[in-house]
Amino acid sequence: MAGGTRRPRHRRILTLAVQACERLSPHFISITLGGDDVQHLEQSGYDQAGRLFFADPGNDDVVLPGNERWMLQHTLQSAGRRPRVRTYSIRRHAPESSAFDIEISLHEQDPAEGPVAPGTAWALAAEPGDKVAFLDEGYSYAPTPGATWQLLVGDESALPTALAILERSADTLPAEVFLEVPSAEDIRREVTAPPGTTIHWLPRGNPSTRPGTLALRAVKDARLPPGPFYTWTAGESSLATGIRRHLVGERHVPKSDISFRGYWRHGRASL
């Protein structure tokens, strides 16, 4: 990864509560998390993300972590008291109202693995007042000096982060964006982005198509703009690594100009 993940210098577990939930489209829910602890969140890179600790719906016995050494507490707790932990990006930070938004992509999973994935189950059931904890894990988006444009590629898990990056990018860094989404109804109609940006929406439609396939194919087939560029790609692991392999191997892009991150792995639950 170009420069790797930059961890925050100072961080602490934030104890927060759900303030609002909004269904954005068939496969996306926006959740506002807030509380006094938001003042301790150091705003950093545009793809800043953190670990969210939450209880399964209906489990009132969960004990949220008390400090950054959450792993130890996690290991010592009995299964019923252990919170779920999943990573989500900060979509929008509103320090003036002591809150920030995350956007969760809702997905189905193989019934053999269980009824509903914990992150999806939590997002669907979340209500104002629900307690959660959040631990900042830093960022990796860092455009290379000299880049005249940027290439952003992701599936639905990376869509909230890509939109956050576009909203905050300098006007001098137009983007070529490839975003794969589960359905045409998940396409965002209003996106704030630097002038000259082109967004290629790639709705899968067919639920049996493996996420990431369309975006990888589209980038391989694309006629990209001239000039030095910086790439940020995230999503299903094969998408992120496939994009990097393609750019380095076939387009001779220096590895140092690419940030890539597997956000999840096909067929594998997080943690």
Ligand X SMILES: Cc1cc2nc3c(=O)[nH]c(=O)nc-3n(C[C@H](O)[C@H](O)[C@H](O)COP(=O)(O)OP(=O)(O)OC[C@H]3O[C@@H](n4cnc5c(N)ncnc54)[C@H](O)[C@@H]3O)c2cc1C
Cβ–Cβ contacts within 10 Å for residue 68, how many? Answer: 11
User: Shortest Cβ distance from residue 269 to ligand X (Å)?
Assistant: 3
Task: Rank residues 83 and 211 by Cβ distance to ligand X and give the closer one.
Answer: 211
Distance separating alpha carbons of residues 219 and 236, to the nearest angstrom:
15
- In the complex with ligand X, the residue whose CB is nearer, 54 or 229, is 54
Report the nearest approach of ligand X to the CB of residue 150 (Å).
18
Residues making contact with ligand X (CB under 6 A): 49, 86-89, 102-105, 107, 109, 113, 117-120, 156-157, 160-161, 211, 263-270
- Is 165 exposed, middle or buried, given 0-12, 13-18 or 19+ CB atoms closer than 10 A? buried
Closest residue to ligand X, Cβ-based? 119
Q: What is the DSSP string of 168-192?
A: HS-TT--EEEEEEESSGGG--S---
Element (H, E) at 14: strand 14-25
Nearest approach in angstroms of CB 234 to ligand X is 7
Smallest distance, Å, CB 167 to ligand X? 14
Measured from the CB of residue 55, what is the shortest distance to ligand X in angstroms?
Answer: 13
Q: Which is nearer to ligand X, 49 or 193 (CB)?
A: 49
* Cα gap 247→252, rounded to integer Å: 6
DSSP 212-270: THHHHHHHHH--PPSS-EEEEEEEEHHHHHHHHHHHHHHS---GGGEEEEEEEBTTB--
Name the residue nearer to ligand X (CB basis): 174 or 211: 211
Q: Which is nearer to ligand X, 102 or 151 (CB)?
A: 102
